[in-house]
A = this chain, B = another copy of it.
Amino acid sequence: MSTPKLSVQLNCPLPKLDFDVITLGHGSGGVLTHRLLDTGVFSMLKNDLLNEQHDGAVVTFDGPVAFTTDSYVVTPIFFPGGNIGELAVNGSINDLAMCGAIPKYLSLSFILEEGLRMDEFWEVLLGIKKTSEEAGVPIVTGDTKVVERGKGDKVFINTTGLGRIHPKASIHANRVKDGDVILISGTVANHGVAILSVRQGLEFETTITSDTRPLHQPVLKLLDELGNAVKFLRDPTRGGVATVLNELAAQSGTGIEIFQRDIPISEQVEGACEMLGLDPLYVANEGIFITAVSPEKADNALNILQSFDSAAAILGRVVAEHPKQVILHSRIGGRRIVSMLPGEQLPRIC
């Protein structure tokens, strides 16, 4: 992996930390930890809550609160279209959105490997800052640990999110029933293929980039306009579209039918999947979601989703037949069962 280029405009100069790499002392809780935080992390991510520098932040809510957690272990940590920091912020924002919540606050916890280059750490932190600021969801509390060389893999990140449940949201798989329409918000398999293209031993030339992005805007627009006609929201990350549809079928007890010709996929990604022998339905995504809505609101939902991403499409429908099974109608008229991802397809994808 070559040196990452600083692709983000710094609001503050790269701090002088007397070290070119992360050392075990940066995780000791003592002077080095304080220096790393005070001269670097806090000034970069600054906001009133974080500045308290207590063991935790104090936040307020009125009404119910969504609470989600995710650890990010993607390898490599820099990939076409993003880095692990951006992924971690977008990922927890999206988990909140999938609960029907308005994302409000994030926590941020690092597990760094001794010897991580300081400029790589800084590039990850810049990705976090930029993504968090653009989405308007501040980091309000955090933690940093360091493990010995060979006991980690550069950077692992946990982000945990808090959001206010949208007043019109009623997102429960068991509300989904026969006749409901399933939509997808953009093209599939971009993230997984982008990661694979830079995996050691597999590098291939492509302009495919990860679709990592926050999804709360289209979700909140759906909830604003369609209210409880929106019954299910989930982003098909690990396990891909096939796994999410199987989760929906299992949790709602319904059958699901999808049509291969309606699955939005870019030509390049489809070509790469063919070359690698991957079924795009099992490849991880980051910046898309699947929703199930009442049939009478399907067109409105499609219009809203297409106003954010023209590739959004109706993917299929919920049926009374074959409960708990997902059936794919192929382009040539055949039918097959789509099962959940059986083993490991692409480990460490997020």
Contact = CB atoms under 8 A, between A and B. Distances in A.
A151 interface: yes
Contacts of A72: 145
Contact of A95 (B56, B61, B111, B156): B56
A165 B346 CA distance: 42
B341 A29 contact: yes
A70 B27 CA distance: 12
A112 to B, nearest CB: 10
A234 B339 CA distance: 50
Contact of A73 (B25, B145, B153, B347): B145
A145 B71 contact: yes
A305 interface: no
A89 interface: no
Contacts of A282: 30
Contacts of A25: 343-344
A190 to B, nearest CB: 17
B160 A69 contact: yes
Chain A facing B: main interface SS: mixed
Interface string A15-37: 00000000111011111111000
A303 interface: no
A207 to B, nearest CB: 27
Most interface-central of A146, A160, A238, A342 (chain B CB within 10 A): A160
A195 interface: no
A100 to B, nearest CB: 9
B55 A59 contact: no
- Residue of A61, A108, A146 with most chain B CB atoms under a 10 A cut-off: A61
B343 A165 contact: no
30 contacts: A28-B346, A29-B237, A29-B239, A31-B339, A31-B341, A32-B342, A32-B344, A33-B238, A33-B239, A54-B98, A54-B99, A55-B68, A56-B98, A58-B165, A61-B65, A67-B105, A67-B107, A67-B140, A67-B141, A69-B108, A69-B141, A69-B142, A69-B158, A72-B145, A111-B156, A146-B347, A147-B348, A150-B150, A158-B158, A162-B162
Give the top 7 A-B pairs by smallest Cβ distance, nearest first: A29-B238, A30-B341, A56-B68, A29-B239, A69-B107, A160-B160, A158-B158
